[in-house]
Structure 1
């Protein structure tokens, strides 16, 4: 894999449609598991503690998307390296000994909790770094990973809209099966920013697939869609964006980060969801 900007490995794998290109992109921004040595050497916790923040194996669950005519964009770096579902200005200036790499937006609850674009806590909320980072380290990750990934994603969606008059982004994530203060977490959470990032007819069709396969589904609670859904979802301009959150208990051992027996059972469900959304956006009227 060639090196990208600033010497980091290429930040994503892009798989093109094998036939019958449809105006749809499946993206997996949090399934990567690469960590630069400069980051690993700065950790004060075992790397496994950091890896438990990954949406492990989500890219594999959607690996058949190109077979059905969709692009698949999968990140290669772990979300703790740089969170691709955060605004690049969601930064904590206290993380850096020589100042932040970019202008910082107003503090948000996520940043204050250590979950900004450059996260500083692990899966259990513990601090992961044993030292402050440098401005150069931060900029390397933002420029070499975040900027490149979103540049590619934006280009894909713009190209499909130009060609077909419409495009659909399905942003694919997973969620911990047990979360403090939340009982009875559903199998699937679909986020459309409360109806603002996608035409509801597309979300309805996706929800129906999961329910027909016996899975429980919620909308926008507790996840309504993050930076990616908000940035790209512009239904009036012909680009729709839907976020999928999959309960990790369905398909993996969350502590060991290994696939469970449920993985093989879930793959056909995701294939059905892929096929349904490919067909839905092919049939969908232009803006």
Structure 2
């Protein structure tokens, strides 16, 4: 482990005093501890590397443990390793040596430079000065990716065993230039993989809660959810997964990466929505269990 992670580790779980609701929160892209060797070997400076972060999303959703739900968050940055991808979505052009035969080398995400080991940060800014040894990529997957998903899987399984029902909320941010139909800028996008990763009522309720506060909210377009939402959402088995995208323009200066004056108001709005949603999910889970009897 790099010395930068010696204190808190590569990731951590913010645990509630007692888990009282069937929710699990995950912030896989808000990590902002950059290994010195990674920065040194990059063609980008440290500030430019941060452009792929989900800036302060872990702080925006800080209310989760207080509501009675665990929250897993990464300390390693997305530019270093992206856990919202398949484990081996790898671009062979990035590496010296042969990738294993089971690597997915032809996905759209790989083609765009955004595989498990990203080739670019925002706006197609190339990260590396030279090719990486294949062993370096495989080590990141073994040492970080797999333990991260093992912990996330454990949280979801434990929640499902305790409540007979679970909802994973995958927390992200999106660039401020995103527009939807009519050129409107959405403040939030709720993704449920077009109804395949979570029951429609669960995602529609989240949409309505943010709309009740006056936010502009879209569902599934242009972000329906990534690997995590797709992989962990099994609605027929009572395992639901949703993605929340927060527009960075409403809470952070995307040039300086500093918080805007509205940061605390956005944070408070998210906290209110989560509190209301927790109550809704408790009732939804109870009603679902009664209907199954």
Q: TM-score when scaled to structure 1?
A: 0.93
Corresponding residue of 1:220: 220
Measured at CA, do residues 155 and 111 of structure 1 come closer, stay the same or move farther in structure 2, by a change above 3 Å?
Answer: same
- Name the SS for the 1:52 alignment partner: helix
Structure 1 residue 20, shift from structure 2 partner:
5.2
Out of 18-27 and 264-273, give the one that drifted further: 18-27
Q: Partners of 2:52 and 2:114 in 1: how far apart? A: 11
Q: Is the 8 A contact 2:92 2:105 kept in 1?
A: no
Structure 1 residue 34, shift from structure 2 partner:
1.5
Q: Is the 8 A contact 2:113 2:120 kept in 1?
A: yes
Corresponding residue of 2:198: 198
Q: Is the 8 A contact 2:89 2:115 kept in 1?
A: yes
Q: Is the 8 A contact 1:93 1:104 kept in 2?
A: no
Corresponding residue of 2:207: 207
Matched, 1:278 2:278: yes
Measured at CA, do residues 7 and 187 of structure 1 come closer, stay the same or move farther in structure 2, by a change above 3 Å?
Answer: closer
Please, what is the CA RMSD of the aligned residues?
2.1
Structure 1 residue 50, shift from structure 2 partner:
1.2
Q: Is the 8 A contact 1:24 1:160 kept in 2?
A: yes
Q: Partners of 1:236 and 1:251 in 2: how far apart? A: 36
Corresponding residue of 2:27: 28
Q: Is the 8 A contact 2:191 2:225 kept in 1?
A: yes
Q: Partners of 2:180 and 2:232 in 1: how far apart? A: 31
Out of 135-144 and 78-87, give the one that drifted further: 135-144
Alignment of 1:256-275 (within 5 A): 256-275=256-275
Corresponding residue of 2:96: 97
Between Structure 1 and Structure 2, how many residues are aligned? 284
Corresponding residue of 1:81: 80
Out of 88-97 and 274-283, give the one that drifted further: 274-283
Measured at CA, do residues 169 and 180 of structure 1 come closer, stay the same or move farther in structure 2, by a change above 3 Å?
Answer: closer
Q: Report which of the two has the higher share of helix.
A: 2
Q: Partners of 2:222 and 2:180 in 1: how far apart? A: 11
* Unpaired runs of at least 5, structure 1: none
- Name the SS for the 1:139 alignment partner: helix
Measured at CA, do residues 123 and 7 of structure 1 come closer, stay the same or move farther in structure 2, by a change above 3 Å?
Answer: closer
Measured at CA, do residues 194 and 143 of structure 1 come closer, stay the same or move farther in structure 2, by a change above 3 Å?
Answer: same
Measured at CA, do residues 62 and 180 of structure 1 come closer, stay the same or move farther in structure 2, by a change above 3 Å?
Answer: closer
Corresponding residue of 2:245: 245
Please list the CA deviations of residues 151-176 of structure 1 after superposition, one character each: whole Å capped at 9, or x if unmatched.
Answer: 10100101111111110100000000
Q: Is the 8 A contact 1:70 1:278 kept in 2?
A: no
Q: Is the 8 A contact 1:101 1:135 kept in 2?
A: no
Corresponding residue of 1:156: 155
- Name the SS for the 1:81 alignment partner: coil
Q: Partners of 2:20 and 2:124 in 1: how far apart? A: 42
Corresponding residue of 1:129: 128
Q: Is the 8 A contact 1:31 1:59 kept in 2?
A: yes
* Unpaired runs of at least 5, structure 2: none
Out of 180-189 and 270-279, give the one that drifted further: 180-189
Corresponding residue of 2:113: 114
Out of 20-29 and 246-255, give the one that drifted further: 20-29
